[in-house]
Structure 1
Amino acid sequence: MSGTQRTDDGRGRLGSALSGLAVAVGCVLFLGGFVWGAVQYQPYTVPTNSMSPTVVSGDRVLAQRIDDAEVRRGDVVIFKDASWGDLPMIKRVVGVGGDKVACCGTDGRLAVNGTPIAEPYLRSQGPASTPFSVTVPEGRIFLLGDERMSSQDSRVHLEDAANGSVPRSAVTARVDAVAWPVGGVVERPGGFAALPGGVSQPGPVRLVVGSVVAGAALILCGAAYGPIARRLSRPARSRTEAGARG
C-alpha cells in the first residue's frame, strides 16, 4: 500500500469518527431540547382577540409552566378560575396583592399605586372602560386584556368580593413565545419594571429552540459526511490506480 493510500485511509477513519461524534452529539441536543421544552412549556391555542395585538385568535403559543410565586406584573398568563367560567383564559397581569389599580387618568393611562404605566402593547392608548379604582387583595392578581375595548377581564368582575381579582394559584403558565404563526418571544413590558418586584425574566425558549436546531444541524452534517467523502475520494483513487498501471 502506498503512502498516499495510507494517508487517505487515515483521514477517512478520522472523518468517520468525527462524523459519528457529530451525529451522537446532535442526537443528544435534538432529543434533549425536545424533552426540555416538554418539561418547561405547554402549548396553548389563543381562543379570542382579547389580547390583540400581542396575540390573536388562533395563535399557537408556548407557555412556560410556573408557580404562583413567579407571577409578576406585565406577565401574559394562562389561568383558570371558577368565577370566570372555569376554562383556561389568557390575560395580562397589571396588579398584584396590595396594589391600587386605577384607570383611566387624563391621558387615558392605567396607573398602579399612583404610577402611570406605559403600555406600548395596546392597540389604542385611549380610555376603553368606565373609570375604576380597586385595591387588589393579598395573594391575588388583577388582569386585563390588551384589547381593552372588547376584553372580558377583571373589569367585568369588579362587583365581586375580590374586586375582580383571581388567586395567584389560578395561574398555570406564562406566555413566552408565539410558535405559530412564527412570532418570536413575547417581550416583557418595561412599564412595570420600576415597581417593587420588577418584571419577570424571559424563559429558556431561545435555548430550547437553539438546542433543537443545533442538534438537527449536527445530525445532518454528520450523516452527510460519508456519502460526500466517498464521492470525493473516487477521482483520487482512480488517478492513483491509473498511475500504478502506467
Structure 2
Amino acid sequence: MSFFIRDFVRQDSMLKPFDWSGTATRANYWVLLVIFAIAINCFYVVPSYSPIFDVVLLAEAVLLVLVVSVTVRRLHDFGRSGLWVLLTLVPIVGLAGTFWIGLAKGRPDQATAWPPERRYRVGQGLTVLFGALIVSRIFWEPYWIPSNSMKPTFLVGDYLVAKPVDAAEPLKKGNLYVFGHPGTGSILIARLIAVEGDRVQIKDGSITLNGQLVQREKRADFVESYEPQGAMGYLPRCVNRPKNFGEPCIKQQFTETLPTGTTYDTLGIMQSALDSTGEYTVPERRLFFMWDDRDNSNDSRTGLAKGGMGFVPTDSLVAKPVVVIFSSAGRSLGAFWTWRADRFLKWLN
C-alpha cells in the first residue's frame, strides 16, 4: 500500500480527460479504475426504461474517456507507448494487462509522452464522438436481456440496441419488437406471431395461423451450462434436469417458418398446457406475441388475469431490435472472462 499512499498525493493529472501527453501515477490509475468498475455495475442493473438510464449512460461514457486517458498516461510513466492501451480490449489477456499497467513502477528516466498536437487531435475526436453518441440517442434505444424467455435468439446478458417503431411501416409477423406489458408496463421483447383479425391455435407445440400449419423442423439440441446466469442469477430449465452446476443443460430446438417467410429458432423443455390451446382471434388494434423459449414464459397464450400478457395493444410498441452489440454471461459487465466475443455486433433479422 505504500506506493498507493505515496502516489495519492500527486493527483494533479487524474482528471484531465484529453491530456494524453503527460504521465499518471499508479494511484491515479487505480482510483479511476475502481470508480469505473462501480459505475459499470450500476449501468448493468439500471433498466433501459428507467428515467435515470440516460444519466448513467452519459456518466459511464465520461468515465470511460477518463479511464482511457489515464491509462495512456500511466503507460507513458514507465516508458511505454500509449497505444499499448489496446491490450486492455482483448478478453482475458486484457485483464492481465490491466494489472500490469496498474502495478508497474514509474521510471522517470524512461518516461515518454505523445506530442501536444496529437493530444489535441485525440481530444477533438473524442468530443465529436461524444456529440454523435448523445445525438444518436434520438434514433436508437439500448436494452439488456435479464431472463431466459427469448433463448436462443437472445441470451441472458445480451446488450442490444433498437430503433423506434415507425408508425408508417407495416408490422411483419415473425419480427422482434420491444413493447410495454399491457398490465405492468414493464418493457419486454418478444416475437410477433399474429395481428388483428388473425386466428391462432397451438397444437402439440406447433402453431396454426389462419388455418395453416406453421412449418416446424427439429434441430440439434440446444446445450448450455447449468449455472446461475446474469445479474439476477436465474437458473436455466432443462430437459435432462441436471443436479450440479457446470453440467450440460439440454433443451429441444426447433426451426419455425411463418407464411411470411420469416425463419427463427425456438426451444422446448416439456409438454405443457400451453403446447395445445384453443383458437385465439386477435381483436382490433391488438397483437399476439410469443417468446422463443416456449416452455419458459407466459406470453399472449396466457391472459393478464393468469399472469401472462394477453393481447398487446398496438400503441404499446416501442422499438424494433437491430443488433446485439455486447454480451456478458456473468453477473457483471466487469467480469471480462465471461464476455461472449462471438455475439459482439450480432445483427438481427
Tell whether the structures are fold-level matches, with TM greater than 0.5.
Answer: yes
Identify if the C-alpha distance between structure 1 residues 69 and 135 changes in structure 2 by more than 3 Å, giving closer, same or farther. farther
Instruction: After TM superposition, give the deviation of residue 138 of structure 1 in Å.
Output: 1.6
Q: Which amino acid aligns with 1:123?
A: L
CA distance in structure 1 between the partners assigned to 2:314 and 2:197 by the alignment: 13
- Is residue 163 of structure 2 the alignment partner of residue 80 of structure 1? no
Aligned partners of 2:176 and 2:191 also within 8 Å:
yes
Q: Decide which structure has greater helix share.
A: 1
Instruction: After TM superposition, give the deviation of residue 137 of structure 1 in Å.
Output: 0.7
CA distance in structure 1 between the partners assigned to 2:136 and 2:268 by the alignment: 34
Aligned length: 161
CA distance in structure 1 between the partners assigned to 2:129 and 2:323 by the alignment: 20
Structure 2 counterpart of 1:155: 301
Structure 2 counterpart of 1:136: 282
Choose between structure 1 and 2 for higher RCO, CA contacts under 8 A separated by at least 6 residues: 1
Indicate the structure (1 or 2) with the bigger Cα radius of gyration. 1
CA distance in structure 1 between the partners assigned to 2:132 and 2:189 by the alignment: 26
Instruction: After TM superposition, give the deviation of residue 41 of structure 1 in Å.
Output: 1.1
CA distance in structure 1 between the partners assigned to 2:312 and 2:187 by the alignment: 13
Aligned partners of 2:182 and 2:316 also within 8 Å:
no
Instruction: After TM superposition, give the deviation of residue 130 of structure 1 in Å.
Output: 4.1
Specify the SS of the correspondent of 1:141.
strand
CA-to-partner distance for each residue in 1:96-144, whole Å, 9 max, x for gaps? 0111111125xx4212112222424112498652422101012110011
1:2-13 matches, within 5 Å, as: none
CA-to-partner distance for each residue in 1:132-169, whole Å, 9 max, x for gaps? 21010121100110000111211121779xx9211111
TM-score (norm 2): 0.40
CA distance in structure 2 between the partners assigned to 1:164 and 1:68 by the alignment: 22
Q: Which amino acid aligns with 1:113?
A: N
Identify if the C-alpha distance between structure 1 residues 134 and 82 changes in structure 2 by more than 3 Å, giving closer, same or farther. closer
Instruction: After TM superposition, give the deviation of residue 78 of structure 1 in Å.
Output: 1.1
1:81-230 matches, within 5 Å, as: 81-83=181-183, 85-104=184-203, 108-118=205-215, 119=256, 120-124=264-268, 129-132=274-277, 133-157=279-303, 164-181=310-327, 182-187=344-349
Instruction: After TM superposition, give the deviation of residue 82 of structure 1 in Å.
Output: 3.8
Percent of counterpart pairs with the same letter?
30
CA distance in structure 1 between the partners assigned to 2:196 and 2:275 by the alignment: 22
Name structure 2 gaps, 5 residues minimum: 1-121, 216-255, 257-263, 328-343
Aligned partners of 1:67 and 1:171 also within 8 Å:
no
Identify if the C-alpha distance between structure 1 residues 33 and 99 changes in structure 2 by more than 3 Å, giving closer, same or farther. farther
Identify if the C-alpha distance between structure 1 residues 164 and 30 changes in structure 2 by more than 3 Å, giving closer, same or farther. same
Query: What is the root-mean-square deviation of aligned Cα atoms in Å?
Result: 3.3
Instruction: After TM superposition, give the deviation of residue 93 of structure 1 in Å.
Output: 0.7
TM-score (norm 1): 0.55
CA-to-partner distance for each residue in 1:4-59, whole Å, 9 max, x for gaps? xxxxxxxxxxxxxxxxxxx9xx99x9679646743321000112110001002221
Q: Which amino acid aligns with 1:185?
A: W
| Larger deviation, residues 54-63 vs 125-134 | 125-134
Identify if the C-alpha distance between structure 1 residues 94 and 40 changes in structure 2 by more than 3 Å, giving closer, same or farther. same
Structure 2 counterpart of 1:218: none
